């Protein structure tokens, strides 16, 4: 337990400030809303030092920039969908927000970002606070000693240019929404505050929580109390000189499950701080080729989702957006959502948990990662730390997805990912870990599923597009399987094909016509093939809604969309939706 904690402390974002958890439960002042911006395609703002916000002092002075009287963008939101000039923009936008503040004695103040895609440089009143890399995880800066009484100004340089050694790298099949895409908050705490806690069942147990609470501040040694009123629990401990207090609680919990997503109000208290949130308890394990939830086998009825609101054609970032996406998954009959291919915003994770959807949360270690660049392993480690840090108390999350479709032959790929896996187990030994692979051989109607990484995964996760990218090699119902890690549960993490809703052009049995019938047939064949897979523990269509992607160039059928959705971007149900829904409904009866 202590080991994991030290990992958390060591691998925060580049400038060393790991974000506190449970922002929703804190004393916050929202900085969401209108921000003034400077759009900087040539990157000149850096040498102009726009963060200094200089104003002419004498007659001969002038400055070739100003935030005042310039364009305004909403936060949180991607910038691409707010101004037509920014639709395909991949570069720097400078954001500026003024706020009025008076620091109270005995208080501390933090500036917290839910996420900025992809690089962020943050300034307060002309002084640099720090830098953060990674488009999908939170970061914070303490500004107690820098905030002024009265007006303050924050400047953020947000840059979404693709990075060769970034996560993801240069190529990916989703829209590169840039900017301050998630909430920004000022968080006020006491001098010593509850920075972090881990309150989940220990591995293999359904009645014992083994966790910890971490305080930050001068009075690191003090009484810590955790209460769960509904269970009559009042647990007391004393933190050590590092501010760390152990947590051991045994009780007869009503366990969280999709059928009964029970959450308890949990209150953590010290003399100068108190924070509460709803937490659930469940166990998740694999045994003899099965996934066990609360010691019972569960079939994962999943669907892939991108963090995009199809109706707004924009990055999803609100509770309403989350409800839209997750309700569609519920309607399909799912019990799990794979939040592809990066950690989604907290609304998605929290609402999924509340609605009884298990969650697969994933790092953007996607396809073309440059594992030979020495910076990449450190970036993966930092991002992993931030993903686990934010969501470690979400019982809904059952899988940490560490990579997707990386290339087995790529230099240093397997080493780097094995190390990442070990690091993940060090941080969190209780959830399942998966690497998603598509390097299998499909020949003579046999799938040969192999990859070094499967040895390190709890699940054999396979992306296969039989019937779309690869023609069927025989009767789907006669498919044979050779799986290297044959004792593990198998999860078809992606399958499917494209269809334009309502398209009636050309023959229905030709892929090139994007007919719904063609996609429907792929689904029917896939379901027949699923019956041949040993240890099949779940399936996950690619994907719920059609979504925007710069990789999809067909002017008639794609129109900038990946059309593998079961639903169109307008929410129309394609024929394949009904096939999948019936399959999941029948599973329920088992």
Q: Which is nearer to ligand GCB, 159 or 562 (CB)?
A: 562
Q: Is 423 in the site for ligand GCB (CB under 6 A)?
A: no
- Shortest CB 471 distance to ligand GCB, Å: 16
- CA-to-CA distance for 540 and 496, rounded, in angstroms? 9
Q: How far is the CB of 87 from ligand GCB (least distance, A)?
A: 20
- Helices 413-427 and 375-391, interaxial angle, to 10°? 30
CB of residue 365 to ligand GCB, shortest distance in Å: 12
- For the chain, the distance separating the N- and C-terminal CA atoms, rounded to the nearest angstrom, is 39
Minimum gap (Å) between residue 493 Cβ and ligand GCB = 8
Rounded to whole angstroms, the Cα distance separating 522 from 501 reads 15
Q: Which of 342, 495, 542, 577 binds ligand GCB (CB under 6 A)?
A: 542
Name which of 86, 172, 187 is nearest 135 in CA terms.
172
Between 194 and 305, name the residue whose CB sits nearer to ligand GCB: 305
Question: 408-413: which pairs have CB atoms within 8 A and are 24 or more residues apart?
Answer: 408/437, 408/439, 408/451, 408/452, 408/453, 410/369, 410/371, 410/372, 411/371, 411/372, 412/371, 412/372, 413/369, 413/371
Between 78 and 494, CB nearer to ligand GCB: 494
CB of 436 to ligand GCB, least distance (A): 7
497 token code pair: 């094909």
Among 173, 207, 225, 517, binds ligand GCB (CB under 6 A): 173
- CB 440 within 8 Å of CB 400: no
3-state DSSP helix/strand/coil % of the chain, to nearest 5: 20, 35, 45
Q: What track of x and - describes contact with ligand GCB for positions 561 through 580 (by CB under 6 A)?
A: -x-x----------------
| Buried b / exposed e along 321-342 (16+ C-beta atoms within 10 A) | bbbbbbebbbebbbbbbbbbbb
**Residue count, binding to ligand GCB (CB under 6 A):** 10
Nearer to ligand GCB, 269 or 440 (CB): 440
Q: How far is the CB of 455 from ligand GCB (least distance, A)?
A: 21
Q: Which residues of 436-454 are buried (b: 16+ CB within 10 A; e: fewer)?
A: bbbbbebeebbbebbbbbb
Q: Is 552 helix (H, G, I), strand (E, B) or coil?
A: coil
Residue closer to ligand GCB (CB basis): 209 or 365: 365
Measured from the CB atom, the residue of 315 and 564 that comes closer to ligand GCB is: 564
Comparing CB distances to ligand GCB, the nearer of 463 and 479 is 463
Where would I find the beta strands (DSSP E) of 349-393? 358-362
Residue number of the CB closest to ligand GCB reads 173
Interface positions, 283-342, toward ligand GCB (CB under 6 A): 341
| Binders in 113-172 for ligand GCB, by CB under 6 A | none
Nearer to ligand GCB, 238 or 512 (CB): 512
Mask 238-277, x = binds ligand GCB (CB under 6 A)? ----------------------------------------
Per-residue b or e along 537-564, where b marks 16 or more CB atoms closer than 10 Å to that residue's CB? bbbbbbbbbbbbbeebeeeebbebbbbb
Torsion region of 144: left, alpha or beta (phi above 0 gives left; psi -120 to 50 gives alpha): alpha
In the complex, what is the shortest distance from the CB of residue 395 to ligand GCB, in angstroms, rounded to a whole number? 27
Residue from 225, 405, 448, 517 in contact with ligand GCB (CB under 6 A): 405
Whole-number minimum distance, CB 404 to ligand GCB, in Å? 5
Interaction residues for ligand GCB, span 339-358 (CB under 6 A): 341
Q: Which one, 189 or 463, has the nearer CB to ligand GCB?
A: 463
- Site residues for ligand GCB, 196-235, by CB under 6 A, read none
Select from 106, 122, 115 the least CA-distant residue to 137.
Answer: 115
- Could you tell me the smallest distance in angstroms from the CB atom of residue 543 to ligand GCB? 8
**Are residues 578 and 567 in contact, defined by beta-carbon separation less than 8 angstroms?**
no
Encoded tokens for 184: 């920004």
- Contact map string, positions 357 to 386, toward ligand GCB, x by CB under 6 A: ------------------------------
CA 478 to chain centre: 37
What DSSP line would sit under 98-141, residue for residue? EEEE-PPTTEEEEEEES--BSEEEEEETTEEEEEEE-SSS-EEE
Q: Is residue 404 a contact residue for ligand GCB (CB under 6 A)? A: yes
Query: Mind spelling out the 3-state secondary structure of 327-358?
Result: HHHHHHCCCEEEECCCCCCHHHHHHHHHHCCE
* Nearest CB to ligand GCB, comparing residues 281 and 561: 561
Quick one: 172 or 212, whose CB is closer to ligand GCB? 172
Instruction: Determine the 3-state secondary structure of 433 from DSSP.
Output: strand
CB of 311 to ligand GCB, least distance (A): 20
Contacts to ligand GCB from residues 441-470, by CB under 6 A: 463
Q: Which of 314, 377, 396, 366 shows the shortest CA–CA distance to 493?
A: 366
**Closest distance to ligand GCB from the beta carbon of 549 (Å):** 7
Looking at 494, 520, 525, 546, which residue binds ligand GCB (CB under 6 A)?
494
Instruction: Give whichever of 342 and 583 is closer to ligand GCB, judged by the CB atom.
Output: 342
From the CB of 171, what's the least distance to ligand GCB, in Å? 11
Closer CB to ligand GCB, 501 or 542, in the complex: 542
Tokens of 17: 């400030």
Query: Strand, coil or helix: what is 62?
Result: coil
Q: Smallest distance from the beta carbon of 529 to ligand GCB, in angstroms?
A: 17
Give CA angle at 122 (344, 393), nearest 5°: 35
Closer residue to ligand GCB in complex, CB, 144/551:
551
Q: Write down the least CB distance from residue 366 to ligand GCB, Å.
A: 7
DSSP β-bridge partners for residue 293: 284, 296
Q: Name the site residues for ligand GCB (rule: CB under 6 A).
A: 173, 341, 404-405, 438, 463, 494, 542, 562, 564
């Amino acid at each position: 337990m202590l080991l994991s904690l030290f990992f958390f402390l060591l691998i925060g974002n580049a400038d060393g400030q790991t974000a506190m958890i449970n922002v929703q439960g804190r004393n916050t002042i929202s900085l969401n809303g209108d921000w003034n911006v400077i759009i900087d395609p040539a990157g000149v703002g850096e040498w102009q030092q726009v963060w200094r916000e200089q104003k002419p002092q004498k007659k001969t002075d002038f400055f070739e920039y100003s935030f005042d009287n310039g364009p305004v963008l909403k936060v949180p939101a991607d910038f691409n969908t707010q101004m037509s000039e920014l639709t395909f923009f991949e570069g720097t936008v400078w954001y500026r927000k003024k706020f009025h503040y008076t620091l109270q004695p005995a208080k501390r103040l933090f500036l917290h970002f839910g996420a900025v895609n992809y690089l962020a440089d943050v300034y307060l009143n002309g002084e640099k606070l720090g830098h953060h890399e990674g488009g999908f995880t939170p970061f914070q800066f303490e500004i107690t000693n820098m905030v002024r009484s009265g007006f303050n100004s924050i400047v953020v340089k947000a840059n979404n240019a693709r990075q060769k050694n970034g996560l993801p790298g240069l190529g990916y099949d989703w829209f590169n929404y840039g900017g301050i895409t998630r909430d920004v908050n000022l968080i006020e705490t006491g001098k010593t505050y509850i920075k972090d806690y881990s309150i989940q069942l220990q591995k293999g147990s359904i009645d014992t929580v083994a966790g910890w609470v971490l305080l930050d501040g001068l009075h690191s040694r003090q009484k810590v109390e955790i209460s769960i009123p509904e269970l009559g629990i009042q647990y007391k401990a004393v933190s050590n000189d590092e501010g760390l207090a152990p947590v051991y609680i045994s009780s007869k919990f009503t366990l969280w499950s999709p059928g009964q997503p029970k959450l308890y109000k949990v209150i953590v208290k010290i003399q100068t701080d108190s924070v509460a949130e709803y937490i659930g308890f469940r166990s998740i394990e694999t045994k003899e080729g099965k996934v066990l939830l609360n010691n019972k086998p569960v079939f994962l009825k999943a669907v892939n989702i991108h963090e995009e609101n199809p109706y707004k054609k924009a990055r999803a970032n609100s509770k309403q957006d989350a409800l839209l996406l997750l309700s569609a998954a519920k309607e399909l009959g799912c019990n799990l959502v794979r939040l592809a291919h990066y950690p989604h915003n907290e609304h998605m994770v929290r609402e999924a948990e509340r609605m009884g959807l298990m969650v697969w949360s994933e790092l953007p270690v996607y396809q073309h990662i440059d594992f030979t660049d020495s910076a990449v392993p450190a970036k993966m480690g930092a991002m992993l730390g931030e993903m686990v840090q934010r969501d470690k108390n979400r019982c809904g999350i059952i899988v940490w997805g560490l990579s997707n479709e990386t290339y087995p032959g790529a230099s240093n790929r397997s080493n780097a990912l094995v190390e990442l896996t070990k690091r993940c187990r060090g941080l969190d030994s209780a959830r399942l870990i998966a690497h998603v692979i598509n390097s299998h051989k499909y020949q003579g109607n046999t799938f040969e599923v192999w990859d070094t990484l499967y040895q390190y995964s709890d699940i054999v996760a396979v992306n296969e597009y039989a019937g779309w990218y690869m023609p069927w090699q025989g009767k789907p119902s006669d498919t044979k399987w050779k799986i290297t890690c044959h004792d593990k549960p198998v999860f078809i993490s992606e399958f499917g094909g494209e269809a334009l809703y309502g398209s009636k052009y050309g023959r229905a049995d030709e892929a090139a016509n994007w007919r719904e019938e063609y996609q429907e047939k792929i689904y029917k064949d896939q379901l027949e093939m699923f019956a041949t897979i040993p240890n099949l523990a779940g399936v996950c269509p690619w994907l719920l809604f059609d979504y925007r992607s710069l990789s999809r160039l067909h002017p008639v059928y794609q129109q900038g969309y990946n059309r593998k959705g079961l639903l169109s971007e307008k929410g129309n149900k394609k024929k394949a939706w009904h096939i999948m829904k019936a399959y999941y409904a029948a599973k329920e009866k088992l």
